[in-house]
Structure 1
Amino acid sequence: MADLLVIGLGNPGADYARTRHNVGADTVALLSELHGGRLRAGFRNERALTDDVRVGSLRIALGVPQTFYNESGLAVAALLRRHDIDDLHRLVVVHDELDLPPGRMKVKLGGGLAGNNGLKSIKAHLHTDDFVRVRIGVGKPPGRQQGADHVLRRPGKAERTELDIVIAEAADAVLAIATDGVERAMAHYNAKPDPA
């Protein structure tokens, strides 16, 4: 049994690597790497890359769905079953967030889905939205560009640097949720000022 299941949302395949939509998947890959692990294909029915890492006495299960983003709930439901997690406050979903500027990250428990189709899929499979989110800002699309076009593009060099910094911060936030609890993580990370 895992103490925490951390899911990083994104789309599979090289075409989507390093896009704004994959910052959640990038965060989970970083967590695996920092703890000497490596994401590998899980059981076929899980449709995810998975790893287990130890943080002190805690066992943290990591997952990156290999469905497309909008079908993430299929993998999340299967991974919850495998890791015998029924308390959804032990599920952390890391995802991109249009409503936060690039370089900003917030921790949230439950609440609205802000039109995020990956979160909608998870809610549809779990029949609740009462799980923890780590929201990584990717900003609103410029001009008349659609949100989908914005998140599926790779950012420019300056924004990429900002995103890499906030991905590392998001990985730290996941560890804070694991060790200190979601309330303390929210108090710490959500109080930070927006980047200049």
Structure 2
Amino acid sequence: MKLIVGLGNPGAKYAGTRHNAGFSVIDELAERHNIKVDTCKHKALIGKGVINGEKVILAMPQTFMNLSGESVRAIMDFYKLTVDDLIVVYDDIDLDVGKIRIREKGSAGGHNGMKNIILHSGSQDFVRVRVGVGKKPEHMDLADHVLSRFSREDLPFMRESCGKACDALEVILSDGAVAAMNRYNG
């Protein structure tokens, strides 16, 4: 069983913001595979299903971004999962809108949600899919940037990157992270 966690902040106020790119990917993946992500458990909205023959738990932590690790740890403990079973999808300001990047492990890279997951999981050796949300404009505070919505010009690229991230997750589940990296990291 694999745990696919999309990072974001709960509530209508944050829907569609750059920081909720992980939630957007989980929403699309769930829709593609008819998985209802509507059960409140372990400080998250979760749904269970099967994608490409692999049992999955799709999760959207409801702890707010900076405490995402609490939810991830609770889910991993309850289902007796290890970091080998964990895939995290999150926003990345160092990637252009429309781009994705897959890694098998790595640091948090300054992302507070990832820092908290690394802290609570005790490892940085888990697969992650980073979704580009674009660099922060010089005149803008980082928090304001990641909590902003996409421009009309960027929205089609964001939808494209959500689709690519879902495609990549499907490849990770069927063929492994390396195959997905070879196909989608450009």
Bin the TM-score by the shorter chain: over 0.9
1:126 has 2:121 as partner: yes
Structure 2: how far apart are the matches of 1:112 and 1:144?
Answer: 27
TM-score of the superposed pair, with normalisation by structure 1? 0.91
Q: Is the 8 A contact 1:5 1:91 kept in 2?
A: yes
Partner of 1:137: 132
Q: How does 1:25-64 map to 2 (within 5 A)?
A: 25-43=23-41, 46-64=42-60
Deviation at 1:9, TM superposition (A): 0.1
Structure 2: how far apart are the matches of 1:98 and 1:56?
Answer: 30
Q: Identity of paired residues, percent? A: 38
Partner of 2:91: 96
Deviation at 1:134, TM superposition (A): 0.2
Provide Cα deviations, 1:111-167, integer angstroms capped at 9, x if missing partner: 121100000000111111111110001111112212211110111111111101100
TM-score of the superposed pair, with normalisation by structure 2? 0.96
SS in 1 for 2:154: helix
Q: Is the 8 A contact 2:17 2:147 kept in 1?
A: yes
Opposite residue 130 of structure 1, the aligned amino acid is D
Structure 2: how far apart are the matches of 1:161 and 1:50?
Answer: 27
Structure 2: how far apart are the matches of 1:133 and 1:51?
Answer: 19
Q: Give the unaligned 5+ runs of structure 1.
A: 192-196
SS in 1 for 2:171: helix
Opposite residue 29 of structure 1, the aligned amino acid is D
Moved over 6 A (4+): none
Structure 2: how far apart are the matches of 1:89 and 1:181?
Answer: 11
Provide Cα deviations, 1:72-111, integer angstroms capped at 9, x if missing partner: 001100111222212x132110000011111110101111
Opposite residue 181 of structure 2, the aligned amino acid is M
Paired positions, count:
186
Structure 2: how far apart are the matches of 1:81 and 1:36?
Answer: 26
Partner of 1:78: 74
Residues 56 and 173 (structure 1), Cα distance of their counterparts in 2 relative to 1, 3 Å cut: closer
